[in-house]
């Protein structure tokens, strides 16, 4: 699948966007600018990761735009994004899947994970959905996407560039599959 061409050379990420600053228990303790949160791992903020599967059980991953402020050119979840200050995880997930893929399938929550990298720390809510496309990729967020089988993702995990949040989402999916809580392909 090809992406809509990115245009204008405009950076996709606004460093002044406000996020809720939270503690490790997800209690709001203030607000933080995106630019600050993405350069200080002590500033915990919220995000969402949505894994979209198709009718064959493959997982859609997006290739992040080379102009993203963190992890440019890495694979990430099918749709992902930050929770704006005052917004809920569910509202963010619904907004992000429409903005990034142009679809609105029912979302199933999988829980929240603490994700740390050398750049940032996020509490990220994980979701799963089923949709076969077509998708309309966001012109400045992504350079397109492709479906991977779980076997392909397991085999490429060591060398395919994946964001820490995607790795956390895949780990939770694998845990839920092993526990029999989810089966792929998801029911329609």
For the stretch 34-81, pLDDT in tens is 999 999 999 999 999 999 999 999 999 999 998 888 899 999 999 999
Q: What is the DSSP string of 72-120?
A: TT-EE-SEEEEPBTT--HHHHHHHHHHHHHS-----EEEEEEEEE-SS-
Contact predicate 98/111, CB 8 Å: no
Torsional sign, CA 4, 10, 12, 17: negative
Per-residue model confidence as pLDDT tens digits over 104-132: 999 999 999 999 999 999 999 999 999 99
Per-residue model confidence as pLDDT tens digits over 31-44: 999 999 999 999 99
Look up residue 139 and give its DSSP letter: T
Within 13 Å, how many C-alpha atoms sit on residue 95's CB side? 12
Contacts of the segment 173-179: beta carbons below 8 A, 24+ positions apart: 173/51, 173/59, 173/110, 173/126, 173/128, 174/150, 176/110, 177/150
Helix (H) / strand (E) containing 62: strand 59-64
Domain boundaries, given as residue ranges, for the chain: 18-177
Predicted local distance difference test score (pLDDT) of residue 8: 35
Rg over CA atoms, the chain: 16
Predicted local distance difference test score (pLDDT) of residue 12: 61
* pLDDT tops 90 at residue 27: yes
Report the pLDDT averaged over residues 155-164: 95
Measured CA angle at 76 (ends 55, 108), to 5 deg: 50
Contact predicate 91/55, CB 8 Å: no
The model's confidence at residue 83, banded by pLDDT at 50, 70 and 90, is: very high
CATH assignment of 18-177? 3.90.79.10
């Amino acid at each position: 699948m090809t992406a809509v061409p990115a245009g204008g050379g405009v950076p996709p990420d606004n460093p002044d966007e406000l996020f809720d600053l939270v503690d490790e228990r997800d209690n709001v303790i203030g607000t933080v600018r995106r630019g600050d949160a993405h350069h200080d791992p002590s500033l915990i903020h919220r995000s969402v990761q949505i894994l979209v599967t198709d009718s064959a059980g493959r997982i859609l991953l997006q290739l992040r735009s080379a102009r993203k402020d963190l992890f440019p050119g890495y694979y990430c979840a099918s749709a992902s994004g930050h929770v704006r200050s005052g917004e809920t995880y569910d509202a963010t997930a619904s907004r992000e899947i429409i903005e990034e893929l142009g679809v609105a399938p029912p979302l199933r929550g999988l829980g929240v994970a603490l994700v740390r990298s050398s750049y940032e720390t996020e509490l990220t809510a994980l979701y799963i959905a089923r949709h076969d496309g077509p998708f309309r990729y966001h012109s400045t967020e992504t350079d397109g996407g492709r479906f991977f089988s779980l076997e392909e993702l397991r085999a490429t995990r060591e060398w395919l560039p994946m964001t820490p949040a995607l790795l956390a989402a895949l780990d939770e999916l694998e845990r839920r599959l092993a526990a029999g809580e989810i089966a792929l392909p998801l029911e329609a």
